[in-house]
Structure 1
């Protein structure tokens, strides 16, 4: 018991000296000791359990941090043109997690993660494929007469459409592939503290959660419908027009309903900014009053409609 007491004094001396049976203004006699011994021994044992648990978690946290650093070092060697899993996804990857959760008294070094690092390319590809399928499952069903209706849930090409937009807790609209690495979907938040277990503690220390850890993604139906009208206003087919197509066309839109500012300015926006603005203000009644401005005469077209200056956003 002397060892446990020494550990307690070194770890949390305040808890010991402030214990009601210890913090007494009287001399400790044999009689008093015999009366309080059992209670204090039980208290010291409980504190020893707490100390060992805290030490175990700290060891696991340090291994998570090492795994995160190794992953970030590996990412630095990759072409970041495609989405990659979050740090939390990697720490839960079996090859990494098996090393991280080894007994606390078993040393873990950088080289112990080498086999896990070697499997990262395959894991990333599998993660992307799985994430795409999860996103496809929440997309609206196709019309009954659509030839690809039955297989729509596993058609990742639908994710590239300009009309495929997902919702987010920060009230922003998120398209693919940004939905796979949008910060709001992987950062640790207070709502993630509901369960007090090892995983939650690890996520809190990493300040990150795996993609899809919270509620499943949802399709922003109003945004998708609104974007459909923008695509059609550009003379394009919303069933085949991708986000890249719209970005390359780079159409500007001007609201014919909004009054000019005090300085006489009219707002002219890129197509994706129009979607965000209308949804943020929940003003879907304006969805049919946006005028597309295309081609070299966009500026003249805008000035003709607003009879004043135009501000590009």
Structure 2
């Protein structure tokens, strides 16, 4: 309890204090205490000693031990007050405010205990810095003093040391004898930073000397001394363990107190912002980025919010809320567009499922950027187009929209062809017409080019934009087909190789279409790769084009030959055998029944499990997807080598005429 003002502190004055000006009067009464106790100091604490003692004791009793310790070291006057016996109640109250430290240890008073726990100075050399508190020895030492004070393991022997002989000779003089080594539990110990037990040489030598004397005398006294000493050491070590754990506990408690004070200040600021009309902004921050306020310099503080502090910070917080309002509106806009797109996509997917499986249709993003569809998605009203029924009016117009999209993109592709006008649309259907995209090296024919995935990949630029088109693209993670108009180009090298293959089939390169080639479905042999030991390399016509491009890149001319009927049957049998054993995990096939896409092996398992089809047939149960690669397995196919067939003609029988192209079919004249 605080000391009454009727009693005065009796402080023994030194000669220097008698001549000083900050001297404390020896006696006084309650009526004259406020007038006679005058301390002269400097700085912000100069008026503090002039207050009545009961008020000072009440104030100081609410402080923590480190605060009282620092306060006692500020001025001589305050030190005289706080280090007097009458001020013990202040120290006791301060330690009660720190629930982490254990009670007062044996041999220390309150100021000494506070100095041990909280002083920034070494107890030996008095230097400030990082120190180790040896609670069992009631010492705070730096690393240098710890080594000089001979605090080291006391039970080690020469065989356990990595010392030289000279070093061992110096250390052995300080080591205790055999009795102490056998009774190590009688010594206090502490833990070093290297997690080793530390013992005091002086204490070990003293206890060892006492044990040696008692060993020669009465054994009962020896055992009694050991039991008493061991019990005392156990108490000291238990207290030291509690004190060692107090530091982390105190740090955690102080952190919790700081966080609670910051949270209280933040809640008060949020309430004041709501009163200014920023309730939606505060809710938006709490839901999306709570750290925006928590980490803000004006908010992240432990000081209690007052009207004066609020008036000073309000202009900057209002400016922050205005920027949040803009972000909130953009976020709402993004959320609205995403919700409308999701509703529209559900309708669009249902419509596409009913279309033919080999039909090339625009992607969802291509439909969303159409003018009338985009206008519906970007409607400013928050209540418009919030259900699927709102978009049902577009369903009847989707076939026409799809057709117009295909026509528009077809005209764009025709513009890329050298020397062809927009009315020559049949040129796109030829087996020799190929394009390429800037992300692939493989030639792409029409209409696969309209469904090619690379041409709708979202570019990085869209993610940094905030306009509605960029938001529509980001929501679908794609962009309209060939959005910038620079990602598709004509592929003359593929055209040259395709003409080589078509000529090898004996067909007209200016009239043969890809459908014609599929109908003929020829097997061709590459004469450049024919080898008597390795065999003959044979290809279907699409893979033959890729193979011819390989030779053309090496500067070799074409040399293709159609296989005979027997060779075609052998190639077909080899393809069927190798195709069922090859592995390709690309999802190139589509189930006709449910539109599921997967690899060849997975497709057969899918049809067996999901549709109970054990022997699926291509074109009936599954097909290659429109954007499937030309380079399909198996690869390669090598037939055994055989010499070219020699056909003997009857002199009276006319020679067979070559293949001719007529319309959309291939006929052989008699």
Question: Shorter-chain TM-score: which interval?
Answer: 0.7 to 0.9
Please list the CA deviations of residues 216-259 of structure 1 after superposition, one character each: whole Å capped at 9, or x if unmatched. Answer: 42111110111111111211111111111112222233333347
* Equivalent residues of 1:256, 1:305 under 8 A apart: no
1:41 aligns with 2:318: yes
How many pairs align?
A: 296
Which structure is higher in helix share? Answer: 1
Runs of 4+ in 1 over 6 A off after TM superposition: none
Correspondence for 2:298 among 17, 21, 34: 21
Unaligned stretches of 5+ in structure 2? 1-272, 572-638, 645-670
Please list the CA deviations of residues 267-299 of structure 1 after superposition, one character each: whole Å capped at 9, or x if unmatched. Answer: 3221211223454x5852365244232341435
Change (3 A) 1:223 1:55: same
1:220 aligns with 2:491: yes
Correspondence for 1:252 among 499, 512, 523: 523
CA distance in 2: counterparts of 1:210 and 1:82, whole angstroms: 18
CA distance in 2: counterparts of 1:233 and 1:101, whole angstroms: 55
TM-score, normalization: structure 1? 0.84
Report matched runs for 1:60-139 at 5 Å.
Answer: 60-103=337-380, 105-108=382-385, 109-139=387-417
Change (3 A) 1:21 1:278: farther
2:330 aligned partner: 53
CA distance in 1: counterparts of 2:423 and 2:315, whole angstroms: 64
Change (3 A) 1:264 1:209: same
Please list the CA deviations of residues 54-74 of structure 1 after superposition, one character each: whole Å capped at 9, or x if unmatched. Answer: 111111011112111211101
Please list the CA deviations of residues 29-72 of structure 1 after superposition, one character each: whole Å capped at 9, or x if unmatched. Answer: 33322221100111012112212211111110111121112111
* Equivalent residues of 1:88, 1:208 under 8 A apart: yes
Q: CA deviation at 1:189?
A: 3.9
2:453 aligned partner: 183
CA distance in 1: counterparts of 2:466 and 2:389, whole angstroms: 31
Unaligned stretches of 5+ in structure 1? 143-151, 308-313
Q: CA deviation at 1:196?
A: 4.6
User: Which deviates more from structure 2 when the two are superposed, residues 107-116 or residues 184-193?
Assistant: 184-193
Partner secondary structure for residue 58 of structure 1:
helix
* Equivalent residues of 2:344, 2:391 under 8 A apart: yes
User: Which deviates more from structure 2 when the two are superposed, residues 292-301 or residues 268-277?
Assistant: 292-301
* Equivalent residues of 2:525, 2:560 under 8 A apart: yes
Change (3 A) 1:193 1:5: closer
CA distance in 2: counterparts of 1:177 and 1:94, whole angstroms: 25
Q: CA deviation at 1:79?
A: 2.1
* Equivalent residues of 2:378, 2:468 under 8 A apart: no
Q: CA deviation at 1:25?
A: 2.8
Q: CA deviation at 1:193?
A: 4.1
